[in-house]
Amino acid sequence: MKAVRIHAFGGPEVLQLEDVARPVPAPDEILIQVQASGVNPVDWVVREGGNDALRAFLTLPLTLGWDAAGTVAEVGSDVTAFQKGDVVYGVPNFTGNGSYAEYCAAKASQFARKPGSLSFVEAAAVPLAGLTAWAALFEQGQLRAGQRVLIQGASGGVGSFAVQFAKAKGAYVIGVASASNLGYLRELGADEVIDYRSQPLADAVRDVDVVLEASPVRDNAERLKAVSLLKEGGIFVSVNLDYPFNEEVLAALAQKHATGALSANQPRQDWLTEIAQLIDAGQVKVLVSKVFSLAQVAEAHRESATWHVRGKLVLDVANAIEPA
């Protein structure tokens, strides 16, 4: 089968499209015939050798890609939830071999039925970013109906889902992005929108229950400004696991009796199923801003690394796409 692998860490030039053996699923795994794979920042961070949170877990060679939609081709001996031919979406084993490949073996518990209203390309855009947004808002942030949430990076992969999930659960959403994405945030349902380049947050916002840092900004001085917008007892959640809170931020949180949390995505089948229901009910839309073939993966990584993708980038693994 074809797979995009790396044998050394480095720039986009280390990405190699190769022929490799089809993986064999372990007893608790399914083999997925991958139709499409989402592209996430973690893919090129791993390609470069990882960050402080990841480095220790990476071994070479490695097939990248941790977002998949496809068809179940085989089931492991212990798997009862799926049958051959089921159409699924989910998160391949991290940091095992991923979904930039025609087949991928992954834990069955990390997959669920694909939303019926989505194409494979759209479905592959959902799992990792969607689960990250879900864990951050509802597990770490404990967001409830009627609460006010400020979402930074609201136009990106994680942020686009966070805005819509928060609205679907009845929260009041303040979305932060650059000027050209403010209309997009309103289309997603944001109640208020803020341009981070021209509007100081403190002038526009106060009394939020939850701040979600889903932007790539790793800057504790910026965090201090966001903490100042929280209500007493509020919660500041960051998905930037590799960038801990410093003492100043912790002190500012303590002064407000607020909580700070670093939040990881969790590959949970029950959440994927609930997300699929929201999508099929029309409450959550999926924006794929660009589709690439496996052979165009380097281009996809360069685009992701700009940190200004609206929605998601996806590799259409099953169909070769000619360069534009």
Ligand X SMILES: NC(=O)c1ccc[n+]([C@@H]2O[C@H](COP(=O)([O-])OP(=O)(O)OC[C@H]3O[C@@H](n4cnc5c(N)ncnc54)[C@H](OP(=O)(O)O)[C@@H]3O)[C@@H](O)[C@H]2O)c1
Which residues contact residue 4 at a Cβ distance below 8 angstroms, ignoring those fewer than 6 apart? Answer: 15, 16, 17, 18, 63, 64, 65, 100, 101, 294, 297
Q: Give me 139's structure tokens.
A: 């597990």
26-44 burial, b if ≥16 CB within 10 A, otherwise e?
beebbbbbbbbbbbbbbbb
Measured from the CB atom, the residue of 63 and 238 that comes closer to ligand X is 238
> Would you count residue 235 as binding ligand X (CB under 6 A)?
no
Q: Give me 134's structure tokens.
A: 């879900």
Q: Which residue's CB comes closest to ligand X?
A: 156
Write each residue from 32 to 51 as x if it is in contact with ligand X (CB under 6 A), else as -, in one continuous string.
Answer: --------xx----------
CB neighbours of residue 117 within 10 Å: 13
Rounded to whole angstroms, how far apart are CA atoms 229 and 248? 16
Q: Judged by CB under 6 A, which of 140, 215, 293, 296 binds ligand X? A: 215
Q: Is 291 exposed, middle or buried (0-12, 13-18, 19+ CB in 10 A)?
A: buried
95 upstream amide cis, omega within 30 of 0: yes
> Would you count residue 127 as binding ligand X (CB under 6 A)?
no
Residues 62-91 contacting ligand X, CB under 6 A? none
Measured from the CB atom, the residue of 147 and 181 that comes closer to ligand X is 181
| Phi and psi angles of residue 233, each rounded to the nearest 5 degrees, phi first | 75, 10
Rounded to whole angstroms, how far apart are CA atoms 89 and 111? 6
Residues 170-189 contacting ligand X, CB under 6 A? 177-178, 181
> Would you count residue 237 as binding ligand X (CB under 6 A)?
no
Q: Judged by CB under 6 A, which of 241, 287, 295, 318 binds ligand X? A: 241
> Would you count residue 57 as binding ligand X (CB under 6 A)?
no
> Would you count residue 216 as binding ligand X (CB under 6 A)?
yes
Q: Which stretch binds ligand X (CB under 6 A): 8-16, 59-67, 81-89, 236-244?
A: 236-244
> Would you count residue 267 as binding ligand X (CB under 6 A)?
no
Q: Which stretch binds ligand X (CB under 6 A): 108-116, 140-148, 165-173, 211-219?
A: 211-219
Hunting for tokens 């795994």 — which residue is that? 29
Give helix 157-168 / helix 269-280 axis angle, nearest 10°.
Answer: 70
Write each residue from 132 to 171 as x if it is in contact with ligand X (CB under 6 A), else as -, in one continuous string.
Answer: x-------------------xx-xxxxx------------
Q: Which stretch binds ligand X (CB under 6 A): 54-62, 118-126, 263-271, 294-302?
A: 263-271
Q: Give me 26's structure tokens.
A: 């372990």
Q: Judged by CB under 6 A, which of 88, 121, 193, 214 binds ligand X? A: 214
Radius of gyration for the alpha carbons in the chain, expressed in angstroms and rounded:
19
Question: Residue 264 CB, nearest distance to ligand X (Å)?
Answer: 4
| Phi and psi angles of residue 10, each rounded to the nearest 5 degrees, phi first | 165, -155
Q: Judged by CB under 6 A, which of 11, 254, 302, 307 binds ligand X? A: 307
Q: Judged by CB under 6 A, which of 30, 104, 106, 129 binds ligand X? A: 129
Binding residues vs ligand X (CB under 6 A):
40-41, 128-129, 132, 152-153, 155-159, 177-178, 181, 196, 214-217, 239-241, 263-265, 307-309
